[in-house]
Amino acid sequence: MNRPCPQCGADDARRLYACDEDFVDGLVFAGHRRAYSVVRCRRCSLVYVPEPIDEAVLGELYGAEYYRGRDGDGFVDYAAQEAKYRARFGRRLERLEPWIGGGRVLDVGCALGWFLAEASDRGWEAEGVEVSEHAREFVADRFGLTVHTGRLQDAGLAPGAWDLVALWDTIEHLVDPADMLRRCAGLVRPGGYLVLSTGNHNSWRSRIQGRDWPLVRPPKHLTYFTPRTLRSMVARAGLVPVHTWQEPPGRIPAPLRKLATRLSEDAADLFGLLAVKPGRG
């Protein structure tokens, strides 16, 4: 039996793509011989994978080999790309400075800790949450920072204790993204912020390439957002979106990146969203 829409709960969706066993085995998860589909909810327009997801499968998917390029679409020696990702997270932190410039930050889905390290170096008090034990050990050994292993709800974190909660390129991996947003909202102090980044399923390239868009990767990616559908889900979690931005590839010349992002909210494959929790800190 298929899952209902993760946002509105409707069980009325139209199939967009069929990802057969060869697609999944070759591009996403080597040795995982299972087919998936990608559908769009007719009620709220959210795009998602409707098949039930086995938590054991996700545990296997995000093991140590995930960070070493095990699969055709996995990271290629992610640990060796620190400079690249630290620079990206540095730019993201600079983007946040008009709203918030420091405090306690929790990175949910922190991977190998590049954002945590960058934030810590800039004066933030940084902790992470990550399902991968390999990632926790790496962050502790490399940076001496705390990462809670497992599910966010099992980490024992104090509600309302964080100035900023981050979900960098994480929400698309989650079985229940709406529940995660509600839990993250509970951790943010009144007047604090939640920041996210993810792929834009409405991007120019996604519209042209369809199933061949590089971010269509079930069961690695389970929900496919647009700026509109993510703003809607964030608002349902009790937060107020205040800023959305695009992240065109760095290899595109800066003048072209600026022009494209002025022309359309959907010019880039990746986008970010910042939301505030109502109230005073």
* pLDDT score, position 245: 94
Q: Is the model's pLDDT at 73 over the cut of 50?
A: no
* pLDDT score, position 78: 63
Q: For the chain, how far is it from start to end, CA to CA, in angstroms?
A: 44
Q: Quote the tokens at residue 274.
A: 């910042």
What does each C-alpha distance from 212 to 67, 78, 215 come to in angstroms?
Answer: 23, 23, 8
Domains and their CATH numbers in the chain: 13-276 (3.40.50.150)
Of 167, 280, 150, 281, nearest to 233 (Cα)?
167
Rounded CA separation 203/213 (Å): 10
pTM of full prediction above 0.95: no
* pLDDT score, position 58: 80
| Average pLDDT score over residue span 123-138 | 92
* φ and ψ of 178, to 5 deg: -65, -40
Q: How confident is the model at residue 263 (pLDDT cuts 50, 70, 90)?
A: low
Min mean pLDDT across 84-88, 116-120, 174-178, 207-211 is at 84-88
* pLDDT score, position 277: 98
Radius of gyration of the chain measured on its C-alpha atoms: 18
Query: What is the DSSP secondary-structure string of 140-160?
Result: HHHH--EEEES-GGGS-PPTT
Of 132, 91, 143, nearest to 110 (Cα)?
132
Q: Quote the tokens at residue 126.
A: 């940084």
Q: How many percent of the chain have pLDDT more than 90?
A: 74
| Average pLDDT score over residue span 258-271 | 76
In sign, the C-alpha dihedral spanning 232, 162, 195, 242 is: positive
| Average pLDDT score over residue span 107-113 | 94
Rounded CA separation 87/143 (Å): 17
Q: What is the pLDDT of residues 217-246, one digit of tens each?
A: 999 999 999 999 999 999 999 999 999 999
Q: Which residue has the tokens 């993201």?
A: 92
> On the CB side of 221, how many CA atoms lie within 13 Å of its CA?
23
Q: What is the pLDDT of residues 148-176, one digit of tens each?
A: 998 899 999 999 999 999 999 999 999 99
